[in-house]
C-alpha cells in the first residue's frame, strides 16, 4: 500500500530506490542550473534552445527500441529523462511550472484516460483493446475541447508533430470528414502524378527552386498518405529504410576491405559494383 492508499501492482519498481535515485538526479540538474557555480552552458539554455536535443534524444531512444538492445535503451531513456528534468528546471527557474506539476499532471491524465483500470473494482468495465483506443480518443477530445471535424481549426491537433508523422495524422483527420482516397492504388497513382510534376519542373530550362521544393514536398506528403492506407507508419518506414542503407553500407565496407579497395577514394563505378555485391550477398542469405 502506498501513501496515497493505492495497492502496489505486482511488478511495481522499488519505490524507495526510485525516490532516492530521482531525488539525486533532480539535485544534479538543479546544481547545473545554479547561478552560483553552475554550468555556463546549462544556464544559457531555455525551452527553445533545448528543443533540438529533445527531438534527437527521442529519436535515439526509438532507434534503441528497434534494435532490441536493453543496455543501449536504458542509456537512451536516461537521456530522454534528462531533457524532461532539465526543461522542468528551466521552467521552475522562470516560475512557470515545476517537475512536480509535470509528474502530477501526467499521473492524473493516465488515471483519467484509463477509467477501466482505475475505477472502483465493482464499477470497472470489461473492455477490449479497440474499445480502449476509442475511449482514449473520446476522453482526449473532451479534455482539449477539440473543435468539430471540418472546422477551420481542427488541423491544429497535428501541428506539433514531426513532418512525416504530421502528414500521417493530417490524412487520418481528413479521412474522418470523407476527404480521402478510396484505396492504396489511388494514392499510388497520386504519388506517380506528383513525381511527374516534379520531373516537369526539373526539365524546365530555367528552374524555380521554390517550385521544385513545393513539388518535392507534395511527393513526401503523398507517400505518407500511401503509408497510412497500407497501415504503415511513415516515420518507422523511413527509419527502417535508413537502417537498411547503413547496414548495407557496412557490408560494402567489409567487401571493399576484402578486395583491397579504399572506399573513400574509390571510383563511383567501383562503389556501384560493391553495392551490387552486397545486394547479391543479402539475396543469397534469404
pLDDT digits 0-9 by tens, 82-112? 999 999 999 999 999 999 999 999 999 888 8
281 Cβ neighbours under 8 A, 6+ residues apart? 251, 255
47-57 confidence digits (pLDDT tens): 999 988 998 89
pLDDT of residue 52: 86
pLDDT of residue 4: 58
* 13 vs 19: CA distance, rounded Å: 10
For the chain, domain boundaries: 15-112, 236-285
* 49 vs 245: CA distance, rounded Å: 31
Q: pLDDT: is 157 or 113 the higher one?
A: 113
136-189 confidence digits (pLDDT tens): 677 766 666 544 444 444 555 565 567 888 898 889 888 988 999 999 999 999
Q: pLDDT: is 78 or 59 the higher one?
A: 78
For residue 277, pLDDT over 80 is answered with yes
pTM of the model: 0.59
Check if the beta carbon of residue 164 is closer than 8 Å to that of residue 235: yes
CATH architecture type of domain 15-112 = Orthogonal Bundle (1.10)
Residues 223-247 have a mean pLDDT of: 92
Amino acid at each position: 500500500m502506498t501513501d496515497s492508499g493505492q495497492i502496489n501492482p505486482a511488478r511495481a519498481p522499488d519505490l524507495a530506490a526510485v525516490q532516492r535515485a530521482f531525488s539525486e538526479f533532480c539535485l544534479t540538474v538543479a546544481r547545473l542550473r545554479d547561478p552560483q557555480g553552475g554550468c555556463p552552458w546549462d544556464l544559457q539554455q531555455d525551452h527553445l534552445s533545448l528543443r533540438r536535443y529533445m527531438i534527437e534524444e527521442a529519436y535515439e531512444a526509438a532507434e534503441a527500441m528497434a534494435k532490441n538492445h536493453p543496455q543501449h535503451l536504458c542509456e537512451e531513456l536516461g537521456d530522454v529523462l534528462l531533457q524532461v528534468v532539465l526543461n522542468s528546471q528551466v521552467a521552475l527557474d522562470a516560475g512557470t511550472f515545476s517537475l512536480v506539476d509535470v509528474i502530477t499532471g501526467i499521473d492524473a491524465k493516465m488515471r483519467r484516460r484509463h477509467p477501466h483500470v482505475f475505477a472502483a473494482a465493482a464499477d470497472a468495465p470489461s473492455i477490449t483493446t479497440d474499445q480502449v483506443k476509442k475511449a482514449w480518443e473520446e476522453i482526449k477530445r473532451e479534455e482539449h475541447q477539440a473543435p468539430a471535424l471540418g472546422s477551420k481549426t481542427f488541423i491544429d491537433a497535428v501541428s506539433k508533430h514531426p513532418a512525416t508523422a504530421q502528414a500521417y495524422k493530417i490524412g487520418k483527420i481528413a479521412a474522418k470528414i470523407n476527404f480521402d482516397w478510396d484505396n492504396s492504388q489511388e494514392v499510388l497513382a497520386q504519388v506517380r502524378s506528383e513525381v511527374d510534376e516534379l520531373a516537369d519542373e526539373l526539365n524546365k530550362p530555367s528552374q524555380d527552386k521554390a517550385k521544385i521544393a513545393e513539388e518535392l514536398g507534395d511527393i513526401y506528403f503523398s507517400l505518407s498518405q500511401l503509408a497510412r492506407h497500407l497501415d504503415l507508419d511513415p516515420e518507422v518506414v523511413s527509419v527502417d529504410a535508413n537502417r537498411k542503407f547503413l547496414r548495407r553500407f557496412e557490408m560494402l565496407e567489409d567487401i571493399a576491405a576484402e578486395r583491397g579497395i579504399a572506399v573513400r577514394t574509390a571510383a563511383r563505378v567501383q562503389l556501384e559494383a560493391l553495392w551490387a555485391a552486397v545486394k547479391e550477398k543479402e539475396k543469397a542469405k534469404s
